[in-house]
């Protein structure tokens, strides 16, 4: 079986030239074809105030947990499945469900899931553990996906497909165990470098899946440099140059600037010693026009990423 981990081999890095279009920033639509951008800041922004842990061993480079440790959000900066998110009845129980997002999934879409998850936890209603039906439910729809087409390609499959047929949500109703992954949210043409994919095990609450689908269908663009767009799908996206900032007098760093610097330093520490050039993907960078993600101080305790 071929390894699913990213290879450290590849074409040599492109030398940085400020005026090179490779490094110029663009607003990208549809957002689900923008790729990950090599960062996770947008996905972590909704839980920036939760405890952060930096495991010394293993592929997990950053683990964010709810204060009661029932929810775990892992970032695997060198792996094919970049994100692994779980929820359990208590801190030591087996996860009730697992969600994974691969290396092509934009973190802005992961943020739809983590934001809904954080809202559930903060409201104290445990909706993130709510039992779900194994059957298709209209609860996975949202206003953002109201124009998606519902179809049943066969007796066991139900699909929602975007108008451009480049994104969709599918449920395989033939699953037989809670640990199976009947739900798949996808975007882009098939291929290792082009298909963004998220999978959800059978007990994942449908409102969390719906939140991910809504974030994927959001028409708002995301920001990427030209070089971050896979060449095989460049013809499928629309690019609008990001207007350059107006030159102004130097200013003193704001508290947000200070926090961003701290986050970058923390994630460099997390990726140090991984022995792979692609560990640098854990560096934090603001990828949207919104306020960037800022992590709290590292906690003293270091937890195992996932049991």
Residue 40 confidence (pLDDT): 87
Q: Is residue 7 part of a domain?
A: no
Tell me whether residue 303 is in a domain: no
The predicted-structure confidence for 225-253, as pLDDT tens digits, reads as follows 999 999 999 999 999 999 887 544 555 56
Q: Give dist(CA 87, CA 212) in Å, integer.
A: 16
Name the E strands within 81-232: 81-87, 97-102, 149-154, 157-161, 167-172, 183-187, 196-200, 222-225
Dig out the tokens for 268 from the structure.
């460099």
Residue 302 lies in a domain: no
Mean pLDDT of 262-289: 45
Write down the residue that tokens 């699913």 correspond to. Answer: 4
Residue 23 lies in a domain: no
Q: What are phi and psi of 38, to 5 degrees?
A: 75, 15
Nearest 10 degrees: Cα torsion 252, 253, 256, 259: -150
Per the domain annotation, does 249 fall within a domain? no
- H/E stretch holding 154 reads strand 149-154
Residues 269/54, Cβ–Cβ less than 8 Å: yes
pLDDT of residue 260: 56
Q: Are residues 51 and 64 in contact, defined by beta-carbon separation less than 8 angstroms?
A: yes
Number of folded domains in the chain? 1
Tens-place pLDDT, residues 196-206: 999 999 999 99
Give the integer Cα–Cα distance in Å for 140 and 143: 10
Domain containing residue 278 = 42-243+254-282
């Amino acid at each position: 079986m071929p390894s699913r981990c990213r290879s450290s081999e590849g074409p040599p890095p492109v030398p940085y030239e400020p005026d090179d279009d490779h490094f110029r920033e663009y607003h990208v639509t549809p957002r689900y074809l923008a790729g990950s951008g090599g960062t996770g800041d947008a996905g972590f922004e909704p839980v920036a105030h939760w405890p952060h842990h930096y495991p010394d061993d293993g592929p997990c480079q950053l683990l964010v947990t709810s204060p009661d440790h029932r929810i775990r959000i892992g970032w695997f900066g060198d792996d094919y499945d970049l994100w692994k998110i779980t929820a359990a009845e208590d801190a030591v129980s087996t996860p009730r469900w697992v969600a994974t997002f691969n290396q092509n999934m934009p973190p802005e879409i992961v943020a739809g899931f983590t934001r809904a998850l954080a809202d559930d936890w903060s409201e104290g209603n445990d909706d993130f553990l709510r039992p779900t039906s194994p059957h298709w439910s209209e609860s996975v729809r949202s206003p953002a996906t109201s124009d998606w087409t519902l179809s049943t390609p066969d007796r066991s499959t139900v699909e929602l497909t975007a108008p451009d047929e480049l994104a969709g949500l599918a449920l395989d109703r033939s699953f037989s165990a809670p640990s199976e992954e009947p739900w798949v949210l996808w975007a882009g043409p098939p291929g290792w470098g082009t298909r963004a994919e998220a999978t959800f095990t059978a007990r994942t609450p449908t409102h969390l899946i719906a939140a991910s689908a809504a974030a994927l269908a959001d028409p708002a663009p995301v920001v990427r440099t030209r070089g971050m767009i896979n060449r095989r799908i460049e013809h499928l996206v629309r690019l609008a140059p990001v207007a350059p900032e107006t030159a102004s007098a130097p200013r003193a760093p704001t508290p947000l600037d200070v926090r961003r610097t701290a986050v970058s330093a923390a994630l460099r520490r997390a990726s140090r010693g991984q022995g792979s050039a692609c560990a640098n993907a854990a560096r934090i960078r603001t990828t949207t026009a919104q306020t960037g993600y800022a992590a709290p101080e590292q906690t003293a305790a270091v937890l195992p990423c996932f049991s």
